Structure 1
Amino acid sequence: MPPRKARASAAASTAGKKRARSEEKDAVEAPPTKRGPGRPRKSIADASASARPATNKKLEVLLSTKTPSVSTRPARGNTSISASGSRSKRALVGENGVLERNRKLSIMPIPKGGEPQEKWGHGKTLLVWGCGDSGEFGMGEGDDVKGEINRPRLHAWVEEAIREGKLGGAGAGVEDIIVGGMHSLMIDEAGRLWSWGVNDGGALGRKTDKVPVTPATDPVTFQDREALESTPGLVTGLGPDNDFRVVRAAAGDSISIAISAAGHVKYWGSFRGSEGLLGFGGVKKAIQIEPVDLPFAPFQTRSSAFTAVAAGADHVLMLASDGHLYSMGDNLQCQLGRKVPPRAQLRALTPEPLALKKILTIGTGSYHSFAVDDKGRVWAWGFNAAGQCGVSPERVDRSWAEGVIEKPTIVDALSPENHGGAKVIKIEAGSDHSMFLFDDGSVWACGKNIEHELGLADDHPALRPEEGSNERPKAVFEPVQVFFPPPPSPEEKQPAVEPFEDTDEYRKKSSKIVDISCGTRHNLAITNDDYVYSWGLGVTSQLGLGNKETAETPTLIRTPPSNPVMADYKPLKAAASAGHCFILAQKRGKAEASKEKQAQ
């Protein structure tokens, strides 16, 4: 079986869509490539080095802006700003797995699962688009369900599963959708977990290699591996029948993790580092195919129940019901927020607590992490070469490695006192940029902006050239507000962000956001009036904007009359990965759908 294509390659490449790159960008990012016929797909393990932070010299080429004052001591390991990282990281979600509108911060209780909602007649479903070359869509084999989808469409497999009652009974649908590097997880209304995508590192939680056909044959024949990976299958050993009703989950590049309604945690897959496979559960080079319990030592566990999980490329954060935070995985860029002795690196693969207390919300980027405490303060740590942690230069310790925040540090720009008391309720991040959703519906962002990752218009104050320079900043080192267009109307079906005005009225006029999600270099947002916007770089159709590969500012995702899914379905949650995207959606009533079609 040929090795799998790297996530970085999947995100930044496509046949026949080669983008011209400037010399500056070529210095830090490989040109787009695409697997041709007969060409083996590069594995995630093979791509580990290129997918991670590389040399400081390359960082200097990338960032022409004045960087925060940090130590000149060489950065650890390999560092580069490239098309890599994790996409899906779930932070604060409602009881049904979607962000609740206008939700205020509160201590997160152990989530409780609901019963299959047969009364709906048609459960929540999925819309899908992007690149699915390696089965990331989860719609099976075949040219019509792989390749690229450049505008949202209904997920064919999920629709059939709803009709057949496979997701928890008649009319039951999807409870939540979670995306990793090249795989996805889906919670159904019965509390079972489905998975699909690349399984090289055990991320799917089920066997897909050398699985015998049923009924058994003599000699033994095996099911097609690619068909098993590209079609949703139940993760082994989870669900109500196993006393583990799944209510939350997270996915990294090759690692997956789930929480039950009782607050118990199981995980599977593998962690990788700059030199390849790190291991699993404190065991070097190990891959765990099926879910197992966390390897806690009794003295390490302060709480028996967990309420939230978030995954970066190869690290995981776990929030306990008592507000304590645990981390495990790769720590090359200090993304774990705790010290790991150089000669005891396997300790990083077992959960240990951080010094933080009373944490309510967590979030991760590929190689950096966040936490929000009960006072609304945002803490950040990990890789920060492009300012993706948002920490002010005054708080950077000169003893730290260059481009790294070595321990949890307050992000002053996000403190409630600077936002009229508003607090961050959700954090999403890509490889080198981060997004913060406040409970007043505003969105703030920081980090790399070479490919418009931050969604800032040319006239945004953060993009003004520094004094004595004609060049626009390529990164924003402290969070700034992202502005959204007004909703569409019959007269203006594709409104743009209005010209910037330095007034409170202008800032308040921006459309209010209820959910955000970050891919490697693109983003999705849902407004409180149920419109979906995308922006950033999407050379493999990640933006959902047809053939449009770049969107400088938030741009409304629309679908044509022949495929009116954006009008027919109400978006509930966005999930963006490096190359593929989903929207958790509910079918609208006829009157509501008709109104939306008129506006769009």
Structure 2
Amino acid sequence: MPPRRARSGSVASTTSAATGPLRRSSRPSIVPPPVTAPKNPGTPSRKQATTANGRRRRASSVVSDLSEDEDDSDEDGEETATSTGSKKRKASSSSARSGAKASRGSGGKRVVKPKPVRAPIKGINALPARFAAFPPFAAFADSFAVPELPAPEDAPRTVFVFGAGDMGQHGLGTDSTVLDEIKRPRRHVGFEEWIEGGENGWEGGVADLVCGGMHTLAINNEGKVYSWGVNDHAALGRVTNKPDVESEELESRPMEVEQLGSDLQPFRAVRVAAGDSVSLAISENGEVRAWGSFRSAEGLLGFDGSANSSKTQLVPQALRNLDKHTIVQIACGDDHFLALTSTGLVFACGNGEQHQLGRKIIQRHKEHGLTPERLALKNIVLVGAGSYGSFAVDTKGEVYAWGLNTFNHTGVSDEDGGWEEVIVTPTIVRALSPSAHGGARVVQIAGGTHHTLFLFSNGEVWAVGRTDGHEVGLADSHAEMADLAQRKKAVEAERAERRQKFLAEALSADGQTVVRTDDEGNVLPRDEVLAQADKEAERGTEMPNECIAHPVKVDFPLEPKEWEKDAGPADVDEESTEVPQMVQIAVGTRHSFAVSARGYAYSWGVNASSQLGVGPNKDEVDKPTRIMNTALSNVRVVRVETGGQHSVIVGVDREYEDKAKARKQKRDERDADEQKKRDEADAAKGKGKAAEEDQPKENGDAKAAEDTEMANDKKDEAVVENGAAENGDEKADEPKEKLEPVVEV
């Protein structure tokens, strides 16, 4: 077994995290350096930069085009007029921030009254539901027949894990056998035991699941959130450093995030989202809770933009500016997220170094991005994110993109207004418009470090971006890849020609003796001449970027026409022209997944940690390949999620009716065994009690006999006494003794 990788300490309390060496990143790619910030506006004078009370004004970030009726100022900062006509801010207490009102009850005891539950705000976007088979924003075409899934209580959604697990990412515990890489999907025994055993809240299996960089979140049918994986920056939302318990044990097993709500105000989650070290959950009322932390190129950035906040947030909390809205979807990048409201507005929060927040963040005030702010976008029905980029789709189906674009992975090109390494503001990607796809619209967007996938309503998947690891799923024989190879070959030939020309002038005719000299007439060393030749060859001949610069359709292999339990790669209907249609996509750092309508899972890209689930000896998969092994042989895949180096499949057993019967029989047998044990225990207890009752009865009978005898003796005595009394009455006139006569004198 390979040695476990070093890690930093786990979160120990709500106020501090254990210090130590930074953990390894879940993203093996080099984090892009911060983009140089635009020139700052002129610095105001001290008089201009201070308020009446002498405090410095906080620099406001540039948030575009908000009308007065859509102002998103914080309710806690409501202004009130004073008697002098000036304005001052109300002091906001912790109870006001939490939405609870305090009052004095009888005896002066402080009673906290919960804030009334706010009704969800209705709009163009509906709230998602637990156990939704596909993303709530996926509206497939009418001609796209997606087989209906059985109810979760009949066919529970179970979990399969694979990839790197050395840091507890699989949630299988700390045993050495589960810390190695799992090369093919393996059924999660913990969830299986909960489902098979009828554990309260897990009767239907997993209602929603998502992978962060090195952690995973899941929801059960009661809306409770469970977490597992690395907790170095509070991504799990719970303490994992407790006395007498190894932190690895608490991190590597699914456990409940306990402080999402309270008994008075329960928080029942319907969706979860996760970045590299940040986690979020959406409730059935559209409320949001968040925890963890964001990172920047220099390290830990923090969680909240307020001055008194800590770098990490262990206890889930509401976010300013979002508590007045109903949130229906959250998309996470590495260290930023987008939140979509029911009315079609978009808020962005987190690290904005690559302009992924869609607004200007001054470099020296990066923490200002940690407060959610609204973008100048309206009528949005879908949001998506890559590691350092963001996307949104409006009601017309137009796709907007912004953020890092070094490998053209936003899809924005010259025809969209000019290609740039960074797209500063949301820009329409014309190549993804419905008009360019026969009316089909983008219904899901998933991005990695430098590549992006787009799922359309007709079941097609299109990809753009980096391809040197086959991230976009195009084989080397594909026309786009062949064209890229040809362009690279032409540049290499030109460079070779320029190099040869330089060496012909620097070396003698035999190509061995250096004839080039420096300014002082000294012959240059041969190594220096060769280095100059290489530099001259590259000058003016740039190698084409290893990327596909515009969205390209990804092809998938034919599937069996009807479901076959043990169908292999060659088990397809060769005569069928039916093209597989996808219903869900997922993207990791440099790898990708897709799930078909028939319930097959496909993967491609870099497989350095077995995160593709295709088995050993495959460091890279060039095109979509069906994931097949014994564990999935009779499973319909519902969705796939992936993080930095670990992946999770959620699926249902196809023979769910037989499984349900077997599960019911197993539970009945278990209940019968338990009942038998209880009966035997009761019987044993009853015999013991009867024995105890019999012993007192014998003693009681003897005592009763003795009492009867004593009573009879007393009765006899009473009879004798009564007889004596009667005889005494008959002789009452007789003196009891003779008296001497009285002699009178």
After TM superposition, the score normalised by the length of structure 2 is: 0.61
Distance 2:409 2:459 in 1: 21
Superposed counterparts of 1:384-533, under 5 Å: 384-396=405-417, 403-465=421-483, 469-470=488-489, 474-488=546-560, 493-495=568-570, 509-533=578-602
Structure 1 range deviating more: 405-414 or 241-250:
241-250
Mapped contact 1:484–1:497 kept (Cα < 8 A): no
Q: 1:473 to 1:328 in 2, by over 3 A?
A: closer
Distance 2:359 2:592 in 1: 29
Q: Which of 215, 219, 224 is the aligned partner of 1:187?
A: 219
Q: Which amino acid aligns with 1:574?
A: V
Identity among equivalent pairs (%): 40
Mapped contact 1:199–1:208 kept (Cα < 8 A): yes
Q: 1:540 to 1:469 in 2, by over 3 A?
A: closer
Q: Which of 131, 135, 159 is the aligned partner of 1:126?
A: 159
Query: Does 1:104 pair with 2:139?
Result: yes
Distance 2:183 2:211 in 1: 18
Distance 1:333 1:127 in 2: 35
Q: Which amino acid aligns with 1:268?
A: W
Residue 180 of structure 1 and its aligned partner are, at CA, apart by 0.3
Distance 1:375 1:231 in 2: 44
Question: What residue ranges of structure 2 are gaps of 5+ in the alignment?
Answer: 10-18, 39-125, 142-149, 491-543, 660-745
Mapped contact 2:161–2:188 kept (Cα < 8 A): yes
Q: By percentage of residues, which structure has more strand?
A: 1
Q: 1:145 to 1:358 in 2, by over 3 A?
A: same
Distance 1:552 1:497 in 2: 21
Mapped contact 2:160–2:650 kept (Cα < 8 A): yes
Q: Which amino acid aligns with 2:452?
A: S
Any idea what SS the aligned residue of 1:463 has? helix
CA displacement, residues 525-581 of structure 1 (integer Å, 9 cap, x when unaligned): 11111111111111111111111221111011111xxxx221222111110112111
Aligned to 1:549: 619
Distance 1:463 1:118 in 2: 43
Query: Does 1:52 pair with 2:31?
Result: yes
Q: Which amino acid aligns with 1:287?
A: T
Q: CA RMSD in A?
A: 3.5
Mapped contact 1:3–1:43 kept (Cα < 8 A): no
Q: By percentage of residues, which structure has more helix?
A: 2
Q: 1:302 to 1:338 in 2, by over 3 A?
A: farther
Q: 1:446 to 1:509 in 2, by over 3 A?
A: farther
Q: 1:190 to 1:591 in 2, by over 3 A?
A: closer
Distance 1:487 1:441 in 2: 14
Mapped contact 2:37–2:362 kept (Cα < 8 A): no
Aligned pair count? Answer: 491
CA displacement, residues 469-491 of structure 1 (integer Å, 9 cap, x when unaligned): 53786201111100000014789
Q: 1:436 to 1:341 in 2, by over 3 A?
A: same
Mapped contact 2:416–2:430 kept (Cα < 8 A): no
Distance 1:100 1:495 in 2: 31
Q: Which amino acid aligns with 1:235?
A: V
Query: Does 1:4 pair with 2:79?
Result: no
CA displacement, residues 47-80 of structure 1 (integer Å, 9 cap, x when unaligned): 999741149xxxxxxxxxxxxxxxxxx7569xxx
Any idea what SS the aligned residue of 1:344 has? helix
Any idea what SS the aligned residue of 2:290 has? strand
Any idea what SS the aligned residue of 1:376 has? coil
Q: 1:48 to 1:347 in 2, by over 3 A?
A: farther
Aligned to 2:318: 293
Any idea what SS the aligned residue of 2:249 has? helix
Superposed counterparts of 1:45-444, under 5 Å: 51-54=30-33, 96-99=131-134, 103-104=138-139, 119-120=153-154, 123-166=156-199, 168=201, 171-209=203-241, 211-212=242-243, 222-238=244-260, 241=263, 242-283=265-306, 286-296=311-321, 303-396=324-417, 403-444=421-462
Structure 1 range deviating more: 515-524 or 433-442:
515-524
After TM superposition, the score normalised by the length of structure 1 is: 0.75
Mapped contact 1:97–1:247 kept (Cα < 8 A): no
Distance 1:422 1:332 in 2: 33
Residue 498 of structure 1 and its aligned partner are, at CA, apart by 13
Aligned to 2:634: 568
Query: Does 1:537 pair with 2:606?
Result: yes
Distance 1:584 1:447 in 2: 27
Structure 1 range deviating more: 455-464 or 305-314:
455-464
Mapped contact 1:48–1:274 kept (Cα < 8 A): no
Question: What residue ranges of structure 1 are gaps of 5+ in the alignment?
Answer: 7-39, 56-73, 78-90, 107-115, 213-221, 500-504, 594-600
Any idea what SS the aligned residue of 2:194 has? helix
Residue 243 of structure 1 and its aligned partner are, at CA, apart by 1.5
CA displacement, residues 407-466 of structure 1 (integer Å, 9 cap, x when unaligned): 111111110000010000001111110000001000000000011101112232222326
Any idea what SS the aligned residue of 1:286 has? coil
Q: Which amino acid aligns with 2:314?
A: I
Residue 497 of structure 1 and its aligned partner are, at CA, apart by 12
Aligned to 1:16: none
Distance 2:402 2:33 in 1: 18
Aligned to 1:58: none
Any idea what SS the aligned residue of 2:483 has? coil
Mapped contact 2:138–2:444 kept (Cα < 8 A): no
Mapped contact 2:127–2:284 kept (Cα < 8 A): no
Distance 2:401 2:417 in 1: 11
Mapped contact 1:102–1:441 kept (Cα < 8 A): no
Q: 1:191 to 1:93 in 2, by over 3 A?
A: closer
